[in-house]
């Protein structure tokens, strides 16, 4: 068994991981019954199961869709109808979930990388209502993150400048460290940490290696995930 990050929960399989995350979201919504709820979505393949679960019969009726706002932790800088787009993946996974059009806040991909990065930071600040993060008033209710096989999270790849960004909320990543090798836009660690709850969803045997490297103390980007973090791992990833 791999020594696991602190605040790890081991679940039987990827379905159980998705369900645990869904339970966390519904609890957060119930605890804040009279205000907008902001969720920062992860891209990639792991969270697809969660998004479909939320839109499905087990959770659809429990969620306050009208006041749920969905943001993105990162995006591939491609058109939203591109197969690599996280907006496309999320729209497909949420299928016919009753998300009001103005509640899905995709990272723009129609200007330059710099323009779209600045536009998303402005959109986040407009939603938050301030230009500086207040540690007593998180930007997000829930941040969902994944773990790449190289130890990245969001689009914060090893060796890229965005990993060290400590002021901006959003940063450009001209060269991705893993496929798809397209320019990326990512939230930075200060923005990702500004949350009531941060869940890192890690499933599958392929994630044993980055988990092992984290356990050995490597300064991988995912080692810098902070805030109220819980790692939700399945047995395959945690080698248990
Ligand atoms: C992305 C994600 C990325 C993802 C990891 C894990 O845009 O690709 O935000 O950070 O979470 O790469 O991806 P999988 O879930 O596909 O293993």
Query: Could you read off the pLDDT of 181-203 as tens digits, one per residue?
Result: 999 999 999 999 999 999 999 99
pLDDT digit string, tens, across residues 133-152: 999 999 999 999 999 999 99
**Residue 79 confidence (pLDDT):** 98
Domains (ranges, CATH) in the chain?
12-160+169-220 (3.40.50.1360)
Closest CA to 193 of 148, 229, 152: 229
Tell me the percentage of the chain whose pLDDT exceeds 70.
100
Ligand 1 centroid – CA 153 distance (Å):
7
Strand order across the beta sheet in which 184-187 lies: 74-76, 184-187, 170-173
Residues with CB under 6 A from ligand 1: 42-46, 73-74, 86, 146-148, 152-155
Ligand 1 pocket, mutate which of 146, 191, 200 (most atoms under 8 A from CB): 146
Ligand 1 centroid – CA 86 distance (Å):
10
Give dist(CA 199, CA 132) in Å, integer.
23
| Mean pLDDT, range 161-165, rounded to an integer | 98
Given a cut of 90, is residue 155 above it in pLDDT? yes
Going by the DSSP 8-state scheme, the letter that residue 2 receives in this structure is P
Q: What is the 3-state secondary structure (H, E, C) of 8-74?
A: EEEECCHHHHHHHHHHHHHHHHHHCCCCCEEEEECCCCCCHHHHHHHHCCCCHHHCCHHHEEEEECE
pLDDT digit string, tens, across residues 22-73: 999 999 999 999 999 999 999 999 999 999 999 999 999 999 999 999 999 9
pTM of the model: 0.98
125 sits in which H/E element: helix 113-128
Across all residues in the chain, what is the average pLDDT? Answer: 97
The residue written with tokens 């980007």 in the block is 221
């Amino acid at each position: 068994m791999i020594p696991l990050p602190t605040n790890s929960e081991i679940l039987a399989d990827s379905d159980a991981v998705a369900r645990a995350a869904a339970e966390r979201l519904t609890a957060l919504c119930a605890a804040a019954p009279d205000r907008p709820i902001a969720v920062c979505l992860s891209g990639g393949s792991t969270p697809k199961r969660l998004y479909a679960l939320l839109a499905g019969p087990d959770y659809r009726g429990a969620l306050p869709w009208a006041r749920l706002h969905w943001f993105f932790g990162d995006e591939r800088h491609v058109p939203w109808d591109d197969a690599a787009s996280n907006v496309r993946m999320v729209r497909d996974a949420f299928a016919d979930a009753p998300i009001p059009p103005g509640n899905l806040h995709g990272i723009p991909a129609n200007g330059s990388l710099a323009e779209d990065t600045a536009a998303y930071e402005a959109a986040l600040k407009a939603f938050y209502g301030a230009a500086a993060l207040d540690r007593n008033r998180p930007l997000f209710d829930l941040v969902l993150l994944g773990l790449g096989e190289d130890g990245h999270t969001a689009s914060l790849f090893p060796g890229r400048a965005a990993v060290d960004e400590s002021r901006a909320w959003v940063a450009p990543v001209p060269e991705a460290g893993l496929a798809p090798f397209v320019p990326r836009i990512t939230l930075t660690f200060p923005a990702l940490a500004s949350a009531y709850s941060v869940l890192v969803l890690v499933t599958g045997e392929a994630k044993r290696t980055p988990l092992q490297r984290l356990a050995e103390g490597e300064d991988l980007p995912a080692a810098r995930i902070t805030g109220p973090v819980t790692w939700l791992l399945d047995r395959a990833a945690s080698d248990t």
